[in-house]
């Protein structure tokens, strides 16, 4: 089976974030980047699907981002077991419209003839949650989202979709299929030392975003980025750990009546 996995490098959950001077994105010089959380589960699932089939097949890592920082996340995915990679090189200002992003991926991947494309259910930065589905549509693949388990059965893919409040549903999809992975369905591996060494020799094919977009125009656009205004005023409790817990206990007892 030939599997494509989309991985994205995003600002980590504890990274400092400062809005840039044009108020459209963050100043990247201060950002700590890491792999998008659900993408790391998608990568792990792709590697396991190949392993379950006796090692028959290929995992191709696909990422879009600037030439400077993106190779790090690609190398990490190759070190974990990806066979080769495609890097769609994009410099700031970055695409934020999910239709545009999916169209760029579709153009870059249309000749690969993947049996299966996996990605995380959403990126932790833009959080549109639709790139995977639109990509599947553009490539004529069947789609499913929020997948918590996959198995191949009678030449079809069975995917366990997460519904709300602890409910699930099995969906049967014909190949080729494009599915988005929910966090938590497996335990993402760490790269081995051998994997890290081996990754240096693996192919990373560069593709320029500019060659893929042509006359496409975004359907939606960021007009302004700003800091979220608090809905209510928060009373911050300060002091040493001992002082803080005394104040908390007092609040629990006298203000919230929880003791």
Partner 1 sequence: MDILVVLEGANGAIHRISKEALAAAQLLSKDLEQKISILAFGQNAEQLANEATGFNAEEVVLINDEKLNSYSADGYAEAIMQIVEKEAPQYVLTGYSYLIRDFLPKVSARLQKPLITDVISYKNEGGKILFTKQVLHGKLTVDIEPKVTDSVMVAFQSAAYSADNLISGSANIRNVEIELNADMLKTSSEEPFQEETGGVDLTSAEKIISIGRGIGKEENMPLVKELAEVLKAEIGASRPIVDAGWLPSSHQVGSSGQSVTPNLYLALGISGAIQHVVGMKGSKNIVAINRDADAPIFEIADYGVIGDIVEIIPKLTEVIKSQ
State which of positions 25-84 bind partner 1 (CB under 8 A): 26
Does 21 help bind partner 1 (rule: CB under 8 A)? Answer: no
Nearest distance from residue 34's CB to partner 1, in Å? 12
Does 92 help bind partner 1 (rule: CB under 8 A)? Answer: no
Stretch of 12-20, 62-70, 80-88, 207-215 contacting partner 1, by CB under 8 A: 12-20
One of 91, 110, 113, 252 touching partner 1 (CB under 8 A): 252
CA distance to 10, 100, 176, 235, 241, per residue, from 247 (Å) = 37, 51, 59, 12, 10
Nearest distance from residue 40's CB to partner 1, in Å? 11
Does 256 help bind partner 1 (rule: CB under 8 A)? Answer: yes
- Tokens in use for 19? 């809005």
One of 4, 65, 98, 120 touching partner 1 (CB under 8 A): 98
Stretch of 52-60, 66-74, 84-92, 242-250 contacting partner 1, by CB under 8 A: 242-250
CA distance to 35, 43, 140, per residue, from 7 (Å) = 7, 8, 21
The radius of gyration of the chain from alpha carbons, rounded to an integer in Å, stands at 21
> 183 burial class (0-12, 13-18, 19+ CB within 10 angstroms)?
middle
CA distance 190 to 80: 7
Nearest distance from residue 204's CB to partner 1, in Å? 27
Stretch of 58-66, 75-83, 98-106, 203-211 contacting partner 1, by CB under 8 A: 98-106
Provide the pairing of β-strand 2-6 with 58-65. Answer: parallel
């Amino acid at each position: 089976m030939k599997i494509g996995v989309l991985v994205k490098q995003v600002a980590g959950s504890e990274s400092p974030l400062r809005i840039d001077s044009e108020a459209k994105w963050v100043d990247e010089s201060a950002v700590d980047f890491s792999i998008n959380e659900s993408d790391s589960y998608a990568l792990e699932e792709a590697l396991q699907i190949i392993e379950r089939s006796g090692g028959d097949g290929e995992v191709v890592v696909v990422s879009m981002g600037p030439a400077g920082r993106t190779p790090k996340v690609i190398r990490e995915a190759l070190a974990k077991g990806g066979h080769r990679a495609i890097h769609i090189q994009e410099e700031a200002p970055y695409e934020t419209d999910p239709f545009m992003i999916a169209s760029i991926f579709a153009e870059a991947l249309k000749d690969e003839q993947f049996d299966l494309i996996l990605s995380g259910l959403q990126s932790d930065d833009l959080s549109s949650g639709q790139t995977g589905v639109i990509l599947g549509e553009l490539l004529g693949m069947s789609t499913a989202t929020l997948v918590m388990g996959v198995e191949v059965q009678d030449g079809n893919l069975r995917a366990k979709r997460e519904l709300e409040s602890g409910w699930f549903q099995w969906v049967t999809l014909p190949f080729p299929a494009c599915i988005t992975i929910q966090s938590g369905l497996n335990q993402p591996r760490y790269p081995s030392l051998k994997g890290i060494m081996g990754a240096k020799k693996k192919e990373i094919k560069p593709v320029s975003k500019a060659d893929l977009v042509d006359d496409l125009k975004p359907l939606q656009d960021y007009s302004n980025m700003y800091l979220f205004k608090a809905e209510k005023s928060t009373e911050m409790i300060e002091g040493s750990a001992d002082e803080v817990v005394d104040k908390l206990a007092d609040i629990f007892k006298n203000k919230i009546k929880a003791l």
